[in-house]
């Protein structure tokens, strides 16, 4: 399973630096699977991460790095999808990416210094299916056009199936001198393509019963603030 997800200050607000940051992490996998299918259907995964704290005017610290661990129960066909390079997007924009490489979209609600702003997010399959390429775009008040790769790895053994490492680039932490504080990140991944006459999903699952859920874990490192780890659930429906 996959997603990506979570991006998410401190530099100009000493009070915010002392406040305790909390992370709310939530996932939804759909559609519900009521009977065992002959072939695993294509699934859509929506992930939400919110960065909150106590008191009015709280600003979450600037995110430096996050790690999201996903459970067993689904599979990725990431190696069967076209890929796009972040360097190509940074030079020429996302529209030059090969057809079929776009696997999801989302948005990030942020503070650009003290002004509210929404950044749009596109997610592309990385080379060899070994990463997810994130592209962030915004125009006002901060002009943001940043693409970067987040390594994706399948694990062997243990309770986690996939792990996504998201190193937030400096060009997304501070843009033209403006610090970016992410309050909420929402992503939806659910692409399909036809391979050898069969429609394949980027994410597929054999089981997702009504009321079903599986654990997910997020670990977040911030600039000038303590790290936060959270364990939550991906729910069916």
Torsion of CA 84, 62, 144, 68, to 10 degrees: 20
pLDDT tens by residue, 29-73: 999 999 988 899 999 999 999 999 876 778 889 999 999 999 999
pLDDT surpasses 80 at 18: no
Residue ranges covered by each domain of the chain? 14-236
φ, ψ dihedrals at 92, nearest 5°: -125, -5
* CB contact at 8 A, 152 and 164: yes
pLDDT tens by residue, 183-219: 999 999 999 999 988 899 999 999 999 999 999 999 9
pLDDT surpasses 60 at 9: no
pLDDT tens by residue, 111-153: 999 999 999 999 999 999 999 999 999 999 999 999 999 999 9
The reported pLDDT for the residue numbered 2 is 37
Q: What is the pTM of this model?
A: 0.89
pLDDT surpasses 80 at 7: no
- Angle at CA of residue 139, ends 58 and 182, nearest 5°: 25
- Which residues lie across from 222 on neighbouring strands? 63, 225
The sign of the CA dihedral 83, 192, 205, 105 is positive
Alpha helices in the chain (DSSP H): 14-18, 86-92, 170-173
């Amino acid at each position: 399973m996959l997603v990506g997800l979570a991006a998410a200050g401190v530099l100009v607000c000493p009070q915010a630096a002392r406040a305790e940051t909390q992370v709310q992490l939530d996932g939804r996998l759909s559609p519900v699977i009521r009977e065992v299918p002959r072939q695993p259907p294509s699934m859509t995964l929506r992930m939400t991460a919110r960065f909150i704290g106590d008191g009015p005017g709280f600003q979450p610290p600037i995110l430096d790095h996050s790690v999201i661990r996903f459970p067993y129960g689904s599979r990725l066909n990431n190696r069967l999808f076209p890929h796009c390079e972040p360097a190509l997007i940074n030079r020429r924009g996302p529209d030059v990416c090969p057809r079929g490489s776009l696997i999801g979209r989302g948005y990030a609600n942020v503070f650009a210094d003290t002004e509210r702003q929404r950044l749009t997010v596109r997610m592309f399959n990385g080379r060899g299916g070994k990463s997810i390429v994130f592209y962030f775009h915004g125009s006002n008040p901060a002009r943001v056009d940043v693409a970067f790769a987040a390594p994706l790895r399948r694990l062997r053994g243990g309770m986690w199936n996939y792990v996504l490492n998201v190193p937030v680039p400096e060009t997304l932490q501070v843009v033209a001198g403006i610090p970016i504080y992410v309050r909420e990140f929402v992503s939806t991944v659910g692409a399909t393509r036809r391979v050898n006459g069969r429609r394949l999903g980027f994410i597929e699952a054999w089981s997702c019963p009504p009321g079903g859920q599986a654990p997910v874990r997020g670990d977040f490192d911030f600039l000038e603030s303590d790290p936060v780890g959270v364990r939550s659930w991906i729910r069916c429906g």
